[in-house]
Structure 1
Amino acid sequence: MKLIDFIGITEESAKAIISNRELQSVDFETSRSLINILCRCGGVQDASAIGLKLISYKNGQILTFPGEQYRSEKNTITIDFETLNFSNVQPAMILTAIQKLLRFAIKFWNNLNLNNNEYLPPGSTKAIIFPFPITTGTSYRLTVERNAGERRLSRRFLGKHLLTYKFGTTEGNGAKEEFSTTNFNKAIEAIFDRTLYKFDPEPSVQSDLVFNSTDLNYEPLSTSLLLGAEDPYKKLSSRQIEFIRKPFSLPSRIEGPAGSGKTICLVLKCLHWLRDANASGNAIKFLFIVPSQEMAQNVRYFLRY
């Protein structure tokens, strides 16, 4: 099997990789598929296993998100395997390196603050990422060019385009180090090729199972106020009501510190849908899985009240 020379990654697929918990550790079998891709021997089945689409282009590959549509402006990151090699490190280190690289890319694309292990050398268009803790005794670094082919791309391919071309323990030639843009140009041309997306169906509303997240850090619930109210639902914010009314067939998440009202908000959600089921003549059950007897007693108390 001929090894590929580069891989181009869109912002949508980068987000999917860093948000997939089974791609955070080699303890999960799914991570092997991502490692195969990064070791230049991955195929469409590996991409499918991690929820992405892999497209061959010339002597490289492109990773996109299923249903991703063509746009005239896209943020991208290219890994040039002709100058970068992950074969000298263990699979766990490969996985960590790509996760740190993609996290940097997303912060760069969205103008977010960088971490201490992400460095932009003064007077340079490069970025240096140290994916492993210094305490481990390793000095591995990823070298990223932030403006590869900027003049050539600025009008034809809008967006922020990164090129990762080195992984190792040496500094190279520093800020003025030269690099090849041959594979980078191929990746960009592929990502902005309309035919790459023409067979993808328009994403439906139901296919995007994004968590409806309610944060009680900013909207805490007063348990005593709710328990004493004739209609506690009138005391809730619009976001809390949205969480409660969202069907259980779709994923939801509620966050907040101890005492912020997470438990009673979950109870109110269950009661809402129990009433809905009763009105429809349906029989349903809800299961609370709690970490302690104390929490179980709290749930029983709220339900009885």
Structure 2
Amino acid sequence: MALFSKKDKYIRINPNRSAIEAPQPKPEVPDELFSQCPGCKHTIYQKDLGSERLCPKCGYTFRISAVERLQLTIDPGSFIELFTGIETKDPLKFPNYKKKLATVRELTGLDEAVLTGTAKIGGHKVALGIMDSNFIMASMGSVVGEKITRLFELATEEKLPVVLFTASGGARMQEGIVSLMQMAKISAAVQRHSKAGLFYLTVLTDPTTGGVTASFAMEGDIIIAESQALVGFAGRRVIESTVREQLPDNFQKAEFLQEHGFVDVIVQRSDMRSTIADLLAFHGGK
């Protein structure tokens, strides 16, 4: 008798075995289908935000482009764009600045961080400016300053009210002191418009900060803000490290500014068009 039995040549398979399914790849969900609300942290289906881009859970106001805001605000077909084709001379020859501008222009379809022209809102003709944070965070450079200045000059000449939606991360660092000069330049044009007895309405949107806040954003005859918009000059951490104090949680939010007299009224995006139209009518809009 052999000490060791011979191994079978083949592996025996149980005919009654249960099949094992190969793992299937998980279905991929495109990123653009859902967004997380910064307010309530819920995951929101994009279509549920609607054209006004409002969270259906908490009413949080999402950022929108200048073109989207234009469509929500004006009378259909009334917008005439002005002051296009103005380009920066890149005074500092800042590395890759012109390349960055070209890329952002292609992505946004805008030539700069502010859309300017004339339009009608509730039948009232206005000089209209809308800043777009998708364009280098709507930073204020020489072209932004020139377009807004020309808008006020046109409004003064044609005796039109100005409606300006602000959004900005501040001065455009790639243009240095030329960028900072736009604060005084625009403010001078605002003053000439005011001396002519004309109405200027600003709408502060998220975020409105830096040199824009320190100049024309806060110079309106009436200052409206969107709910929960961030409005300020320096950043929260910079201020806290300077004053060495803990700031309130809602510091630099539109509601906090209204409470302390810096904002006249907070208007929901769904009511913005009708509110602006009423204010234009009250102030003698054409």
> Greater Rg, structure 1 or structure 2?
2
TM-score, structure 2 normalization: 0.21
Q: Which has the higher contact order (CA 8 A, sep 6+)?
A: 1
TM-score (norm 1): 0.20
